[in-house]
Amino acid sequence: MIDAHPPMTTTPGPTTPPSSIGWIDARDYGFSPDADGIANAEALQRALDRGGTIIVSQPGTYDMARTVYVGSHTSLTFGAGVWMRKTTQVGPFSHVLLNRGAMSKTCDEAIAIHGLRLIINEVDFCTHEVFGLRGQLAFFHVHDLTVTGFRCYDLGRMQYAIHICSFEDIRLDDLIIHGKKDGVHLGRGKRFTISNGVFRTLDDAIALNAHDYDTGNPELGWIEHGVIENCHDLYDANTKGYFCRILAGAWRDWEAGMEVQKSDTVVSNGRLYRVRAEPDGTKYRSLTQPLHERGAQMLDGINWHMLQDHAVYNAGVRHVVFRDITLASPRTAFSIHFDKDRYSRSYYPGAVLPQQEDLLLDHVTVVHDQPLPLLSINTPVDAVTISHSRLADNRIQFRGEPEMHGGLPTQINLIGCTFIQPGETVLLQNDVVGKRVTLRAVGSLPRDGFAARIVDPSGNVTVHGDLPLKID
């Protein structure tokens, strides 16, 4: 079995030792609310190049006109009343902060960012210093990362607020993110905590995208061993994404004559290659095997991007706990799925399906009053447990094509849940022919008159427990 997380090399620490007093103030390097965006970027970069502990102590709004890079063993703290504002002094740019090793896929470690308050100022531009990396705050190949006290209230339509891919051991705490795109967007990695977050986002509040469309993540692989806790999805009538997107993918070895589209992935000579294309629905016939070691190459009219030099054949999310989640925005809360549209086909026909595993929803409270799914599932998943949660008319829905479930069963456990919806409510809906589901309910507290309906046209749902049930 190929390791989904191969060892990462680590960048060396700073060549210049930190200040003898243990920290440096960025204003001593020219970082100032009175400076322009280029001068500030250059000044902050000089401070960050020292490594160690850097503080920004002087309150004010600091213009930033280009990306600055942070390396290993560096802590950057913004004091009270400090805001960073993107500007287009020399044209639009993407990342405000990016780890130094991202371009070379060399791992940075022991980075901490505290108190970053970011004004996007409509500078929302998806250039690619690293193809597929699009966060305002972005990290790629990083170990031991901490981000606390992050604020952003004007996120645009193109860039995620925080984007991290190919990681180990990250902690994101005390976040407030409002705007149009994803709040926190994770690619492959393991051991993570996202805590004390408040989100009002048009797209996903949190995206766990083990797979993604071609410009959405710079590498593919499993996301595992995480905790997401004390997070709030605030009310917004115009949302289109999910509180949490849990996205899997599967692909195959390249073979002559195969048909591919935008974002399709193949394994070739031990590497992953992806199709870079416009989302216009075009299908391409691949006759020439991609073998290049880096970058992109046009073959048979297909723009093949070499994604990563370690081959995996599928990816998903496993061993993740969601705890103390409040859902006020009227949208599907958790979507466990494959993409299948003109932007991305995350399951290539005939590929080996991934089974997502061991997802726990604990103390989830639905406060909106719309009849929208709590869970929407169209991938294999072994078990989902929902415990001590407050639910209304919020069904668990299985959907999609039978081959995308692979005949694998799913167990849904309901433990100590309170059901506040009066009357008859659809609790579980199975629209997938041949999909076997076992529902177990223990210690439920239904409102008087509550009756749960199970909609199961193909007769593949088995029910155990203490809820009053009607099976259609």
Q: State how far the Cα of 374 lies from the Cα of 332, in Å rounded to an integer.
A: 6
pLDDT of 226 > 70? The answer is yes
Confidence of residue 17 (pLDDT cuts 50, 70, 90): very low
Residues near 196 by beta carbon (within 8 Å), at least 6 away in sequence? 173, 174, 175, 229, 230, 231
> What Cα–Cα distance (Å) separates residue 67 from each residue in 95, 98, 115, 402?
5, 7, 18, 46
Q: State how far the Cα of 26 lies from the Cα of 56, in Å rounded to an integer.
A: 6
pLDDT digit string, tens, across residues 441-454: 999 888 887 888 99
For residue 10, the model assigns a pLDDT of: 52
Across the range 7-18, mean pLDDT stands at: 47
Across the range 209-230, mean pLDDT stands at: 97
pLDDT digit string, tens, across residues 178-203: 999 999 999 999 999 999 999 999 99
Contact 205, 185 (CB under 8 A): no
Contact 181, 203 (CB under 8 A): yes
pLDDT of 466 > 90? The answer is no
pLDDT of 312 > 80? The answer is yes
> What Cα–Cα distance (Å) separates residue 472 from each residue in 162, 368, 422, 451, 457?
44, 27, 19, 13, 7
For residue 195, the model assigns a pLDDT of: 98
For residue 1, the model assigns a pLDDT of: 33
pLDDT digit string, tens, across residues 118-132: 999 999 998 889 999
For residue 9, the model assigns a pLDDT of: 53
Tell me the backbone φ, ψ of residue 44, rounded to 5 degrees: -65, -35
For residue 422, the model assigns a pLDDT of: 82
Q: State how far the Cα of 174 lies from the Cα of 61, in Å rounded to an integer.
A: 21
Report the DSSP pairing between strands 383-387 and 410-415.
Answer: parallel
pLDDT digit string, tens, across residues 383-441: 999 999 999 899 999 999 999 999 999 999 999 999 988 888 899 999 999 999 999 99
Pick the closest to residue 44 from 72, 61, 67 (CA basis): 67
pLDDT-wise least confident of 14-28, 46-60, 147-161, 330-344: 14-28
Q: State how far the Cα of 199 lies from the Cα of 205, in Å rounded to an integer.
A: 6
User: How is 319-385 classified by DSSP, letter by letter?
Assistant: EEEEEEEEE-SSS-SEEEE--BSSS-B-B-TTPPPP-BEEEEEEEEEE-S-S---SEEE-S-BSEEE
For residue 3, the model assigns a pLDDT of: 43
pLDDT digit string, tens, across residues 245-262: 999 999 999 999 999 999
Q: State how far the Cα of 375 lies from the Cα of 185, in Å rounded to an integer.
A: 19
For residue 15, the model assigns a pLDDT of: 41
pLDDT of 20 > 50? The answer is no
pLDDT digit string, tens, across residues 51-75: 999 999 999 999 999 999 999 999 9
- Alpha-carbon dihedral of residues 395, 374, 248, 456, nearest 10 degrees? 0
Confidence of residue 2 (pLDDT cuts 50, 70, 90): very low
Q: State how far the Cα of 210 lies from the Cα of 454, in Å rounded to an integer.
A: 31
Pick the closest to residue 307 from 267, 367, 334, 352 (CA basis): 267
